[in-house]
Amino acid sequence: MCNVYVLLICCLAVWQPFTSYSATTKGGYSELSKDINVPRYHHYEDLTNRLHEVSEKYPELVSLHSLGKSVKDRHIWAVEISENVKYRKFGEPMVKYVANMHGDEAVSREMVIYLMDYLLDNYGKDPRITTLINNTDIFLVPSMNPDGFENSQEGSCESLPEYVGRNNENGVDLNRDFPDQFDKDVEHQSERVREPETRALMKWIVENPFVLSGNLHGGDVVASYPFDNSPRENATGKSLCPDDAVFKFLAHQYSSLNPSMPNGDSCPELKANKGVTNEANWYQLSGGMQDFNYMRSNCFEITFELSCCKYPNASQLVRYWNLNRESLINFISLAHMGVKGVVKDDKNQPIEGAKIVVDGIDHDIVTSSRGEYWRLLVPGNYQIRAKAHGYQSSPLTGVVVGNVTDQAQTVDFILHPVNGMRRRREDLLSKLFLTSHLAIKK
């Protein structure tokens, strides 16, 4: 997995950077209550102004980033919300929502804006929201496909001819544009020319230690979990990943708090399995973003379809907010379930890229640059260990994961260099020092 990370980062390095922005406009901030009283969709210029205004009003809580630009040079904005947004606290998990990947699925775009306002309006007032922001690094992307949204039409429940609006300006479906694990040419996929929106998200995903993610869509009402497809072409039925239990748990957590999802009958013509489905069992797709998150990073992502009608009249937005509010908030808190900790060497230095192995689950995650890890697990008994190149693997450690309302269990690891590794490392450093010293004397 680490080699894939390196390949991806190298190939993405020439692409647009993850850029931070300070606020440049003043006044006109519209709070959630105003949006509820006069619901509307935010087009690109309006959205941009709104996000800058919010970052100015809450400078300690909000940072605005540009992940890159679309085909038509529009920013893909990401709003970061955290207690001390200038610096992520050690051990604080990163969570993201990415909305409006399909430009004509517009409800998701506004739900992210409503959520942003709700979190900020209630910080310091509602203990639940305050605790969430104080202990989580939250990222909200209102629109991954700003060009597509501008090409869409309010009131259209289905995609326009030729999928105008759904796709980006180049006519590409962004949820079919990511490297696919089952592609025969998977080793060379990162070299393929991809859409600028896809490249921006790929770079952001692989360069940051995200733990949990929601990809917000429209056109049905269901929570869909990996895998998106299977290794067999034209296969039918479920395609389950090693963390199937975790993904089902996450999906049901979201669905159960949305009154329209568990019934599975809000969109009769597209009826899913009681509001939760395995994506491949629903319909298979190649190049999806949620599989990319799981296979190419530490992040567990689920796709949430929020409305039967893709771009309903703005008068319906408050109803969708009321249906999804508790699900959206609770899902963020799930980043704190399972096991977390730090991996260090015997000199108390963090080890980046150490693997966290759970016995019986064939999917490892890796530590951050600070040695941190977060391993999502459903309640149960587990045996876990850490391993890293050049170090002896730790012995298996038993851990009991309790109820989802409990904080993640903390399990730290100290790894020791393999026999002779430290001496070889010290000898190499000595030789490098001697060589440079002699070069200077000459």
Count other C-beta atoms under 10 Å from residue 284's C-beta. Answer: 20
Which one, of 284, 180, 272, lies nearest residue 237 by Cα?
Answer: 284
Q: What is the CATH number of domain 339-422?
A: 2.60.40.1120
Geometric angle at alpha carbon 314, from 313 and 320, rounded to 5°: 100
Task: Give catalytic residue positions.
Answer: 305
Give the distance between the most distant pair of CA atoms in the chain. Answer: 82
Prior bond to 227 cis, omega within 30?
yes
Give the least confident one: 114-118, 227-231, 280-284: 227-231
For CA atoms 57, 62, 63, 69, give the dihedral sign: negative
Scored b (16 or more CB within 10 A) or e, 302-316 reads bbbbbbbbbbbebee
Residue 339 forms beta bridges with which residues? 375, 409
Fold of 2-336: Aminopeptidase (3.40.630)
pLDDT of residue 231: 72
> Three-state SS for 152?
coil
Q: pLDDT-derived band of residue 284, with 50, 70 and 90 as boundaries?
A: confident
Q: pLDDT-derived band of residue 23, with 50, 70 and 90 as boundaries?
A: very low
Geometric angle at alpha carbon 256, from 336 and 154, rounded to 5°: 100
Q: pLDDT-derived band of residue 442, with 50, 70 and 90 as boundaries?
A: very low
**Average model confidence (pLDDT) for the chain?**
87
Which one, of 41, 163, 27, lies nearest residue 106 by Cα?
Answer: 41
Chain-centroid distance of CA 348 in Å reads 30
**Phi then psi for 234, rounded to 5 degrees?**
60, 20
pLDDT tens digit string along 51-84?
999 999 999 999 999 999 999 999 999 999 999 9
How far is Cα 362 from Cα 1, in angstroms, rounded to an integer? 12
Does 339-422 match 2-336 at the fold level?
no
pLDDT of residue 91: 95
Any idea which residue has 């980046």 for tokens?
352
More confident of the two residues 409 and 274? 409
Residue 398 forms beta bridges with which residues? 383
Residue 15 DSSP label:
S
Q: pLDDT-derived band of residue 406, with 50, 70 and 90 as boundaries?
A: confident
CB 111 within 8 A of CB 360: no
> Three-state SS for 362?
strand
End-to-end CA distance of the chain: 44
- What's the pTM value of the predicted model, to 2 decimals? 0.87
φ/ψ bin of 338: left (φ > 0), alpha (ψ from -120 to 50), beta (otherwise): left
Where are the domains positioned within the chain? 2-336, 339-422
How far is Cα 342 from Cα 339, in angstroms, rounded to an integer? 11
pLDDT of residue 36: 76
pLDDT beyond 90 at 428: no
CB 291 within 8 A of CB 226: yes
pLDDT of residue 439: 43
Q: Which amino acid, 290?
A: Q
Q: What percent of the chain has pLDDT over 90?
A: 72
Structure tokens at 232: 């067999």
Residue 376 forms beta bridges with which residues? none
What's the average model confidence in pLDDT over 383-400?
A: 97
- H/E run at residue 322: helix 317-333
Any idea which residue has 């809580």 for tokens?
61
Spatial neighbors of 32 by CB under 8 A, at least 6 apart, are: 114, 117, 118, 121
